[in-house]
Chains A and B, each alone.
Chain A
């Protein structure tokens, strides 16, 4: 079971969090902070596993994380998950984000954070891995986006126009906070089917 999925940046600013066990907002916040402290201390070329028993309940919990340029992707899992498998799942997750946002950068996560849970929902459900095939995930997400667009139809037009106007001053914000090389791979780990 996956207990929690956290995304935060190099400075510990949470960009996305999903807990599969109920915690109060305060505890969630604390968990994110603690996790950041644990993870950010680690060098680039050490292993991606951390025993985080103190954090979320049971002692057989592990933190499995990956660091892409400015962002940390952390999965907290228990012993029923395969460590290398989860590493691969993170890779699939990031690749899927990359595909859905077309070259994802941290800003996408900042301004469109509402889309992330929808993408994640196609991969992980209630803490269990639902789908690992990226094409299948992307197909389902596209279909839902299409549905959403068709629903917006006429009524959505003015809102879209306004948001386009609002976004006109967006380019001021540098768009170069790229997530970087997504194709970091664990050697010898062929991708899953």
Chain B
């Protein structure tokens, strides 16, 4: 056997391996393709052999060839063979090849399911790892469904290496199989607090990615993330969390308020630029989401802008780029604060780096005003001339148009200037944005009535020189402007000086080389021009000339009749007949001009972009109803025609129940949207936002400045926009003089009363009256248009499927599919699911409906609960402002309805009614409204569900694990007073982390209570044998640790200090001093504040979730010592009591039955602490078990103190 293997491998050594292949390709530079095809033939031979090593080698080479761009999908089956090799070496090659070339369309992929499952449960962690990595690249919906449960099990694997991979891949599974999200979510959430930083980071990563797409479902996680943010030191995790908060704040402004302080602290304290940048970004998002009600608002903006300025001024181009990027976000809401840095932005515009110039361009948008628009655009125009790449130039072009047209041409004072800018832009070579320029020309000409004469003259010039624009095919983009030019000249032909000339220009043979749709417009507008000329000539009684024009048309139009474009052809032939008819009439000396121009009488009004969409649906029209009943969908019924008359009918009736319930409607709506998206004939709304208009009624009152005749109305050839800059300056100067005069006059006759409209704004900028009014012909909207700005979401967006409410409890039907023949041997905890599935299968389908309603009800309840929890968390004051411990009274008041409402879940159905009433009493107003609406519907449900005698299954089952009904608690009120004097107030909190077994972090919030500036703060403690302050390297035990910030008056900030603890079983106190320099107007003084830092045993405990089975094992093991306490005179509800213990003593509820609960926690050095809490009439008893008896008794003592306060 061994001999055979050796022999096989000797054969093998003459096969090409990957290195040989690479070498060969390099040696055949001239005929590479031929060489490779030879190699592929060899590989095909190798794949036919039985030896797996040969196959693996072949697949390895194929993977390389794939990277060179060769299709290797033909070898998919061989790849699967190599994947199933027993050796890790080959398996890895196989999975790598699969990850490179498998995708959803690969048909053999379904053969891999069992192999992957086997590898996932392999005892070797690397087999599992390789399978997970491979799967992450080619997971399909089928694979995701079949393997979801296996992967979920791996999330609790003993090895962190597997855990983190399993957690990460869940995201891909969710994407492909959205149903798995809800069942898997509790465990994913748990992993946020995994002891391994890699796993934690992976969980944060996944949740952030999920939340980015559907943020509202993850709002309830905010408290948890907040806790992570304040405790984590891993920059990757912090960045992700901070980015996540950026996505959440727009949904919940109160969250923003809570965030601003810790974020500003981070900005002040961090040295990592990446973190700083993300903090600034999120602060910006917060500021955007907040209305301007915040007092510290402007300070935060200033801080951001100031930090960004530092970034932009940095010599590092990367920071400069990011600074500009973030600045543009501030610009949207706080343009004023950015405008102050105009110099910087203009400077960046000249940067040699294109990415930076583009970002600076974005910012320019907010920098313009009436005053400087011309100047800035002039600068941009010089850039346009200089720019070498088309991308950048195109970007410049769109930006110029954006800047000028923003908020309804607000900044343009002289439209002649704008038109000439547009005309100048048409001279750009090879731009793709001809249509943009055209749209602007049309828009301006239509909406600014005063400019039409000028526009027409320019456009006719443009038409005249059309050969310049349309000469080469390379300029195809720009010829779009001819579309606009032709239309404007035709529509406003009354303004034309030389209509005849323009007409001739439009009939040149060259025109037929233009794109079809432009030709069509030409044809149409030729007639408009013709009508105008006819009228002019007839009025002058010049029949000769009129007939000549007609003759010209009859001669020239046939070239359009032969056009390849149908539209142009059709219009041309139609019009040719018309003109021929006119010719006949003219021959008989009949006046025709009136009739021809009647063809184009009336004015065309612009229609708002969304007008069509906003037409309200008339009452009584149901768009979802069938016009005709659809034919029965199953074709097989055709085979038995007899049935149609008898059996079919009732079935038809069933197909459309008269009252479709909400879900059904939603589903149908979804289906319809889907259909619309796929229907090419369905007109979708254009994405352009609806413009807002200045109120225009005052047009008559505002003195429209007569167009100054010094402005050349008819500029020969192409105009130079620069001329306008000068002219404009003169005009403004004159205007100012005039205004001054008028003002003086006005003062004389003050009784004229208050001026309507604030045309005299305080800012000098507003004083500049535009030369022409944007006489806003408001775009037409249908009457009673709906103001909705409904989402223009893409219905095909894969992330939409993941828009799932995660807070409602799991229904049995939602469990992940499990392979039945497998027994879950790996870990006992997920077993519940297996049982659930069996249960589900034994159930009869009839009950499904009932269960569904049940689910709905519960969902509503949960929703309300969630609202309250989050409200509660958000309503607590920010930590540093009032770090005093929470008042129990408030806590009880808010939490009590929650409890009452939770109770009925475990009781008889009737009790649910009470719970509902409680819901109605809820303080939060918006919820209340919603509930009232739901009430009727629900009471209906209730009646139905009352008939069902036994309560739903799983009810008797105690709420387990805390994962399902875990409620976020205010994490920050654990701060307690450390010391205080007239200068400063210190509050602190001690936190341990499972990752460092002998360290705790003390977070101290320092609040400056004086009017002095505090600096050079230094904290020092007297180390004990047991506890030591971690000092910077090289400093002695007597040196203090400097506080990394200074405190201006009234400001507070948080500093963190790390202490090393030897033994954690007893509590202890450390004496310390804070020294600082207080500086005020009179001078500076050295000050000191002594304090005593109290390390309780509780502070060494870290909240760790625990499964009930693991908990039971722990208790059975008998390694734990026991102790107990009892406290009398407690009136607080049990729910709140547990919450208090969880919060103050870092425990988590393992299981709760009625008024008895088991709880678990772990110390940073790995002691298990188990509690059994029982509530009697007026007393509470706590039995504890712990691996260290001293620790236990100390913890219980501390707990007694807390409980005594209740």
State whether B239 touches A47 (Cβ < 8 A): no
Q: Quick check: A46 and B236 within 8 Å, CB to CB?
A: no
Question: Are A126's CB and B168's CB within 8 A?
Answer: yes
Please tell me if A16 contacts chain B, counting CB pairs below 8 Å: yes
A20 at the interface (CB under 8 A from B): yes
- Decide: A25 and B70 in contact? CB cutoff 8 A: yes
- Residue of A113, A130, A186 with highest tally of chain B CB at under 10 A: A130
The proximity string for B residues 279-307 relative to A, scoring 1 for CB distances below 8 Å and 0 otherwise, is 00000000000000000000000000000
CA distance A127 to B233 in the complex (A): 24
Sorting the interface of chain A by its residue count into under 10, 10 to 19, 20 to 34 or 35 or more gives 35 or more
Given A25-B70, A47-B318, A148-B88, answer yes or no on A159-B104 (Cβ-Cβ < 8 Å).
no
Q: Shortest distance in angstroms between A183's beta carbon and chain B's nearest beta carbon?
A: 16
| The one of A49, A143, A162 that contacts B321, using a Cβ cutoff of 8 Å | A49
State the CA gap A17–B65 with chains docked (Å): 12
- A126 touching B17 by the CB < 8 A rule? no
Please state if A20 and B137 are interface contacts (CB–CB under 8 Å).
Answer: yes
**Bound form: Cα–Cα A127–B137 in Å:** 8
- Answer whether residue A121 sits at the interface, using C-beta atoms and an 8 A cutoff: yes
Residues of chain A with a CB closer than 8 A to B318's CB: 47-49, 83-84, 87, 186
Chain A residues near B89: list those with CB within 8 A: 147-148, 151-152
| Interface stretch (choices A68-76, A96-104, A131-139) | A131-139
Contacts of A113 in B (CB 8 A): 18, 22, 64, 67
**How does the 8 Å CB contact mask read for A128-160 relative to B, with 1 for contact and 0 for none?**
111111001000100110011001101110110
Q: How far is the CA of A50 from the CA of B325 in the complex (A)?
A: 12
- Complex Cα gap A46–B351 (Å): 9
Min CB distance A177 to B, Å, is 13
Point out the residue from B71, B164, B172, B352 that lies within 8 Å of A25, measured CB to CB: B71
Given A20-B137, A125-B165, A144-B126, also A192-B236 (CB < 8 A): yes
Which residues of chain A come closer than 8 Å to B20, judged between CB atoms? 166
Beta-carbon contact of A190 and B168 below 8 Å: no
Q: Residues of A contacting B18 with CB < 8 Å?
A: 113-114
Q: For residue A160, which residue of chain B has the nearest CB?
A: B13
Q: How far is the CB of A113 from chain B (nearest CB, A)?
A: 6
CA–CA, A192 and B272, complex, Å: 9
Chain A residues whose C-beta falls within 8 Å of the C-beta of B314 in the assembled complex: 188
User: Are A16 and B198 neighbours in the complex by a CB distance under 8 Å?
Assistant: no
Instruction: Evaluate contact between A129 and B205: CB separation under 8 angstroms.
Output: yes
Q: Are A28's CB and B198's CB within 8 A?
A: no
* A136 in contact with B209 given A14-B67, A47-B318, A147-B88 (CB within 8 Å): no
A82: chain B residues within 8 A (beta carbon): 239, 243, 274, 277-278
Complex Cα gap A129–B316 (Å): 25
A188 CA / B317 CA spacing, docked (Å):
13
Tell me which residues from 185 to 211 in chain B have a Cβ below 8 Å from any Cβ of chain A.
Answer: 198, 201-202, 205-206, 208-209
What 1/0 flags go to B9-47 for Cβ under 8 Å of A?
Answer: 110111001111011001000000000000000000000
The A-contacting residues of B in range 75-98, CB under 8 angstroms, are: 87-89, 92-93, 96
Complex contacts, A118 vs chain B, CB 8 Å = 92, 96
Report Cα–Cα, A22/B161, bound state, in Å: 26
- Within 8 Å CB of A161, what residues of B? 13
Instruction: Tell me if B133 is interfacial: C-beta within 8 Å of chain A.
Output: yes
Q: A1 to B69, Cβ gap below 8 A?
A: no
A23 to chain B, nearest CB (A): 9
Any chain A CB within 8 A of the CB of B908?
no
B71 and A47 contacting across the interface, CB-CB below 8 Å: no
User: Can you list, as one digit per residue, whether each of A36-53 has a CB less than 8 Å from chain B (1) or not (0)?
Assistant: 000000110111111100
- CB-contacts of B249-287 with A (<8 A): 271-274, 277-278
CB neighbours of A117 from chain B (8 A): 96, 99
Residues of B within 8 A of A110 (CB): 22, 26
Q: Is the Cβ of B5 less than 8 Å from the Cβ of A155?
A: yes
Whether B611 is near chain A, meaning CB under 8 Å from some CB there, is no
**Interfacial chain A residues near B2, Cβ < 8 Å:** 154
Q: Report how far A83 CA is from B126 CA in the complex, Å.
A: 31
Q: For A50, give the chain B residue with the smallest CB separation.
A: B355
The yes or no answer to A80 lying at the interface (CB within 8 A) is: yes
Closest to B172 in A: A126
A83 & B322 in contact (Cβ 8 Å cutoff)? yes
Residues 39-63 of chain B, each 1 if its beta carbon lies under 8 Å from chain A, else 0: 0000000000000010000001001
What are 20 inter-chain pairs, A to B, with CB distance below 8 A? A46-B354, A46-B356, A47-B356, A83-B318, A87-B318, A112-B19, A113-B67, A118-B92, A126-B172, A128-B202, A128-B205, A133-B198, A140-B161, A147-B124, A155-B9, A159-B13, A166-B20, A188-B273, A190-B271, A192-B234
Binding site for B on A (CB under 8 A): 1, 14, 16-17, 20, 22, 24-26, 28-29, 42-43, 45-51, 80, 82-85, 87-88, 110-114, 117-118, 121, 125-133, 136, 140, 143-144, 147-148, 151-152, 154-156, 158-159, 161-163, 166-167, 186-190, 192-193
Lowest 10 A-B CB distances belong to which pairs?
Answer: A126-B136, A84-B274, A47-B317, A22-B103, A46-B353, A162-B13, A29-B69, A47-B321, A121-B133, A47-B318
| Other A-B pairs, 11, CB within 8 Å; known A47-B353, A118-B96, A128-B202 | A22-B103, A47-B317, A50-B355, A83-B274, A85-B274, A114-B93, A125-B136, A158-B13, A163-B17, A187-B316, A193-B234
